[in-house]
Structure 1
Amino acid sequence: MLKKIDKAKEFLLENSQLFRCPICHSSFLQKDYALICTENHRFDLSKKGTLYFLKTHVQTDYDQQMFTHRQAMIKSGMYENMLAEIAPYMDGKEIVLDVGCGEGSFLTELSKLSTAKVKIGFDISKEGIYLATNQPVDAFWCAADLTNLPFADQSVDCILNIFSPSHYKEFERVLKPGGQVVKIVPETDYLKELRTAFFPNDQKKQTYSNQKVIDKFSESMKLIADKRLTTVFDIPEERRLDLLEMSPLEWQADPEIKAGLKKQPLKKITVDLRMLVGEIR
């Protein structure tokens, strides 16, 4: 069985044309365990088979603990309905790019439901990408900047944009003609039980709106699908504590409230999402 770095080397040998240098924007050639551009900027594979395209180290608030809890909830089936709706947009696609992939669980689960030849996930969090390399999926992982994608012009058939920021100019640049963006946005009732439990005396934190994000998508892309996906998920008993630690919500919660919830965790949670699908205008 090939080591991760050797498997990644084989991937780059076959797919180096998908990438472009984030420094000078020139094309790459694969050489041994690295990509080297025409201006001699070099990016070496890590031992885990990842590429680090960021100019400087980026410190994020998403740590290994949060990624681990998030992964557990995804694998428990919390987003099963959402994944079933996304999967058909990946079917038969040559190149699928997961933008802000975190620890890779969504791309992994989607790979079980759909067909796509080449799957690439990237995130700004190096820690998330390293965790993604442990996923049981045939995919390539890298750390990169959303505003300066290390991918060639018109190289991608489908962009997955699940719970992550967008940069539509870059999306437009890397998408092939007819390529699509599938964006998932939390709706007003997303995790409403957890919000109410964490912030019982703060009405503003119990609800929120992503209407500006939705409007921006419609302004930037030709909208071809707009669907609200709402389910109430029965949380498996062994996963109820994971829910408390899987999102940034817990950062602002009162420690005493969190302690009480650990003793009496939630049994159900609302998953209220908006799926937007768009093409280049």
Structure 2
Amino acid sequence: MICEDGHNFDFSKKGTLYLLTHQIKSDYDDDRMWDSRARIQAAGFFEPIAERITSIIGVEENLRILDVGCGEGSTLSYIEEKRKGMQDAMIGFDISKRAINLAAKKETDAFYCIADLAQLPFRNDVFDIIIDMFSPSSYNEFNRVLAKGGSLIKIIPNSDYLLELRHLLYDSDNRNYSYSNHDVLELFKENYPTARIEQLKYSFQLTPELFEDLVYMTPLHWGADSMKLGQALSTGLDEVTIDVSVLIV
């Protein structure tokens, strides 16, 4: 691929593009984490969230949809399946090459690339829908690439998100024992004071295998000491709470 300024970008064997202009060190280039995330996603872990996103998008056809921090592509694949035949152009990107390689293995018409949300490699005013699920945000860049009349759908965790896992992995005096989205939510409100905010909360049933996938698909296990982690894997959980806010512009 050659841009109008003459820069060359080579497609990988998997059909993806590497569009980072500089090296970014990421803790998320972890095969076990992405494999675990793919399995628990396939079991329906985030399905109610993906279903809500799909319903917000609605039934308009020929949309240009961008998934920010798309990971291994499970959410975008769900949306693509639900909108089959609507002739959408879907793009997912992440900074993790391992995640994008997994996404590219799916049977999909979506296009996946490695890119930086702080410097999006897309033209101005091009996307009708931007989805940002559990990823950081660059609101200036989002506003630049979002078409007039387009929508931003951002998902952030609430205080009860994975609460049972937090309490299993950490003692009450540890900062990871609890979570507050106050700062993230306030920054979003500053940028989009008229945005709509919805709450979505449900429980997900876990098998021993899915519990292990849950542990390793979330960064929560990074800070746990080895004894706590071992105890958690031995004890397990029968279910876990998913508690999020859906922010809609």
Q: Give the alignment's TM-score, normalised by structure 2.
A: 0.93
Does 2:63 align with 1:97? no
Of 261-270 and 203-212, the range deviating more from structure 2: 203-212
Displacement after TM superposition at 1:90 (Å): 3.0
CA 1:223–1:69 in structure 2 vs 1: closer, same or farther (change >3 Å)? farther
Structure 2 regions of 5+ residues with no counterpart?
none
Q: 1:245 aligns with which of 216, 224, 234?
A: 216
Structure 1 residue 41 and structure 2 residue 12: aligned?
no
For residue 22 of structure 2, what is the amino acid of its counterpart? T
Greater strand share, structure number: 1
Map of 2:151 onto structure 1: 180
Please give the per-residue CA displacement for 1:41-88, whole angstroms capped at 9, x wherever unaligned.
111111110111112332311111111111211111122221121102
Query: Which residue does the alignment assign to 1:263?
Result: 234
CA contact (8 A) 2:189 2:195 kept: no
Where do residues 217-256 of structure 1 align in structure 2 (5 Å cutoff)?
Answer: 217-221=188-192, 223-256=194-227
Give the SS at the match of 2:109: coil
Provide Cα deviations, 1:163-220, integer angstroms capped at 9, x if missing partner.
0011111111111111010000000010000000000343532211111111211221
* Deviation per residue, 1:115-166 (Å, 9 max, x gap): 5511100011112111110123221000111111111111100000000011
Task: Give structure 1 regions of 4+ aligned residues with deviation exceeding 4 angstroms.
Answer: none
State how many pairs are aligned.
Answer: 244
Correspondence list, 1:1-281, <5 A: 35-62=1-28, 63-91=30-58, 92-93=60-61, 94-114=63-83, 117-202=88-173, 204-221=175-192, 223-278=194-249
TM-score normalised by length of structure 1? 0.82
Compute the displacement of 1:249 (Å): 0.7
RMSD: 1.5
Question: Which letter does structure 1 place at the counterpart of 2:5?
Answer: E
Cα distance in structure 2, aligned partners of 1:45 and 1:108: 21
Q: Which runs of 5+ in 1 are unaligned?
A: 1-34
